[in-house]
Each structure stands twice: as structure tokens, then as C-alpha cells.
Amino acid sequence: MKKHLKRIISLVLILSMSMAAIAGCKKEKADNGNAEKKEIVILAAASLTDVTAKLKEAYEKEHKDVTLTFSYGSSGALMTQIQEGAPADVFMSAALKQMNTLNEAGLMDSSSIYNLLENKVVLIAPKNSTLSLTGFNDLSKDSVKMVALGEPSSVPVGQYSEEILTSLKILDTVKAKAVYGSDVRAVLSYVESGNADCGVVYETDAITSKDVKIICTAPEGSCKKVIYPVGIVKSSKVSDEAKEFIEYLKSDEAMAVFAEYGFSNAQ
């Protein structure tokens, strides 16, 4: 009987020590930052590629329990992905149109939508271009053979471009010699490579390239303001973490980084 009791006590002690060891391992894992991280999937306009890479690094450094996963493209294509149920937690659009469409369809958390940034539309040419260009009106000249534009059906910069050209009454002339890009970075690459004589992009994209020069900014009032809204996708499973990330984007710290890349505060 005594032997049996001793064996039971020994087993209890071993089990207790094992549980303590497991608890210690779990604590150490958490303390070492190896606990399971929450992933925030962010669908962002292509023009945000460079600045968000820097913001991702800064945010993850301060939030060890979060991983930011960015997917870039034209705002129209990203909108379609959300409509089709692609996994997404946050949408950062280059125009109000796409955000409004999703919100009206009940796919966004309305209370989370915030007009974050403002950008400008500019005319660019290759750095070594000898074409005589001073403004958007020059796009109708015979000397300009090819103009790079964003696809107006899905790319906000293409939609802004058409507004500008329509206001100047040269849309049909320019469309006849246009090559269309699937997003603003594709438009930029056409001009960088010299495959287009000039192109219409955002100011923030133009200043990232050493191979292009800015000819001018779009005439005042020729297109709607270029506003970048951000919001949480209603189906998000990490809405609390997404909300905290958006609050960070509004912060002075994040706005200083946006300013480095040519964006201004939309507020």
C-alpha cells in the first residue's frame, strides 16, 4: 500500500513538473516574440508602394504581434477583388469612387472610412526628352506621337487624366495616340523606358524615378481633388488590429513619412 502511495505521489510530482516546464516554454515563446502573430491584409493603390514599405517596417518594429501584408494594384482591380470576396482587412484607394462603390454595397465598415491623403496629377517626360512640352495642351501637338495614360475603366489616374483632357477639349486627339497602363506604375514605366513620349501620373510616383522629369501639374480645377481614403473591409476577422493600424496612419509620425514621399494630409 505504501509503495503504491509513493508511486502515485511520484507521478503527481512528475506531472506537476512537466506542466510547469510547458508553461515556462509558453511564456518564453511569448516573451521572445514568437507567439502567433495577427496578419492584417492591406489592398493598396500602386502609388502607395514605396511609402507603405517604409511604414510597414516602422509599424512592425513597434507591434511585434502584427504582420502587415500588402497587395498592390489599380484601385479598380483591388475593388473588384474585394467584391469577389478576396481576403482583405484594409483598403487604401487612390480615389473616392472605388471606396464609395464598396461602401454603398455594404462591403466596408462605414464608420472606419477616412480621407487620409491628397496627391497631385502631373505630366511627365523621359529625363533626356528634347520635346518642347510646357503643359497638358501640348499633348495634342503632332510632335507627340505616344502618350501613356492609366486605363480609365479601373485606374484612378486614368480617370483623372480623362477629366483633365476633357476640360481642355483635347481628349479625342490624345486618345488616338494613347497607350494604356494597368496601374500608375505601368504608366510610369512606359515613360521611363522611352516607349512613350510623355505620360500622366501622380506627383508622388514621378518623384520616385530618376528617369523622368515633371513638366507641369494639372491645371487648377481641371479634375477632382486626388483623395486617398482608407477603410476596414467589413468581413475582416482582425478589425481591432486593423483599426489600430489606421489610427497609426493618421498619426503625425506616419504623416511625416507620407510627406517625405510627396503626399499631403487630406484633412
Q: Is the pLDDT of residue 15 over 70?
A: no
- Please tell me whether the overall predicted TM-score, pTM, comes out greater than 0.75 for this model: yes
Q: How far apart are CA 229 and CA 115, in angstroms?
A: 4
Kindly list the distances between the CA atom of residue 33 and the CA atoms of 27, 65, 239, 241, in Å, as whole numbers in the listed order. Answer: 10, 7, 22, 17
Contact 152, 162 (CB under 8 A): yes
**pLDDT at 31 (0 to 100):** 42
What's the whole-number average pLDDT of the chain? 90
Q: Which three cell numbers stand for residue 148?
A: 501613356
Q: Is the pLDDT of residue 236 over 80?
A: yes
- SS3 annotation, 164-218: HHHHCCCHHHHHCCEEEECCHHHHHHHHHCCCCCEEEEEHHHHCCCCCEEEEEEC
| Confidence band of 21 (pLDDT split at 50, 70, 90) | very low
Q: Percent of the chain having pLDDT more than 90?
A: 86
pLDDT in tens, 161-203: 999 999 999 999 999 999 999 999 999 999 999 999 999 999 9
Domains and CATH numbers, the chain: 38-118+227-265 (3.40.190.10), 121-217 (3.40.190.10)
pLDDT band at 36 (very low <50, low <70, confident <90, very high): confident
Element spanning 249, H or E: helix 239-250
- 3 state DSSP class of 223: coil
